[in-house]
Structure 1
């Protein structure tokens, strides 16, 4: 495994571990106000998606699709946000975020200014559905060579 000292995603999972494979892991980001916030983190240190070869890019995106589909099926979000920014942590990871009309920032980005107060009841309802979504992620990801 290629790791970089001081990189938070090389030195730790980056959140609550949901799935870990040979090439990548899926974590629940546990971002306050956004219970459906996950990350697909590439195991080896790579700063950019284009640093991966074609086969690894396809594998990475397949994992992103699995996480997205599981969130859509189990959480029924208004939208899924996908992002691979890397401005703060230059280690390849994809944000896969289930978004809801009731969330405090919708339709703005999760990093934008809040547009309304948080809805604790809605957040709790989403959080209660996470185990089923995560079980589906584990099942689908475990059936492949991730």
Structure 2
């Protein structure tokens, strides 16, 4: 059962969301956010435009459009940062809003070879560094 829109981080577009992520842009059926926690350099989140959906609740057209957004971001991250591998994660146990974590992983770097940590709280960037990462992603989209 989906959580109420009033409790949804993404739908409320509130201070909690802005403390965790920076909006990069709108996509076909999603919004793209950069995680402020950057232990995985270039980590983003593709967030579906509508609240409380599961993959199986989407029409074929909606699902295909969402996955096009995910693939577009994955390709942009690969182009911008050349990771060894990109991990994708769709969880939402406690926040029922369809979204996909795009997590670049780098050989010999933090977390390579394991499941990515949701919020390791190890790497923050300066405002200028966030802007540089976002600009690289936008240029590759």
TM-score range, shorter chain: 0.7 to 0.9
Q: Which runs of 5+ in 2 are unaligned?
A: none
Which residue does the alignment assign to 1:76?
A: 82
CA distance in 2: counterparts of 1:11 and 1:119, whole angstroms: 26
Secondary structure (helix, strand or coil) at the match of 1:96 reads strand
Contact map agreement 1:75 1:129 (CA 8 A) in 2: no
CA distance in 2: counterparts of 1:26 and 1:97, whole angstroms: 13
CA distance in 2: counterparts of 1:57 and 1:4, whole angstroms: 21
Q: Which runs of 5+ in 1 are unaligned?
A: 138-146
Contact map agreement 1:104 1:119 (CA 8 A) in 2: no
- With normalisation by structure 1, the TM-score equals 0.74
Contact map agreement 2:31 2:46 (CA 8 A) in 1: yes
- Relative to structure 1, the CA distance from residue 19 to residue 110 in structure 2 (aligned partners, 3 Å threshold; closer, same or farther) is same
Shift of 1:90: 1.3
Question: For this pair of structures, how many residues does the alignment match?
Answer: 127
Correspondences of 1:11-90 after superposition (within 5 Å): 11-12=12-13, 14=17, 15-21=21-27, 23-90=29-96
Secondary structure (helix, strand or coil) at the match of 1:82 reads strand
My pick for the range that moved more, 5-14 or 35-44, is 5-14
CA distance in 1: counterparts of 2:11 and 2:100, whole angstroms: 15
After TM superposition, what 4+ stretches of structure 1 lie above 3 angstroms from structure 2? 127-130
Root-mean-square deviation (Å) = 2.8
Which residue does the alignment assign to 1:141?
A: none
Shift of 1:12: 1.2
CA distance in 2: counterparts of 1:43 and 1:128, whole angstroms: 26
Query: Could you give the per-residue CA deviations for residues 56-110 of structure 1, whole angstroms, max 9, x where no partner exists?
Result: 1000000000000011112110000011111132110011111112332111122
- Relative to structure 1, the CA distance from residue 42 to residue 78 in structure 2 (aligned partners, 3 Å threshold; closer, same or farther) is same
My pick for the range that moved more, 29-38 or 75-84, is 29-38
Which residue does the alignment assign to 1:9?
A: 10
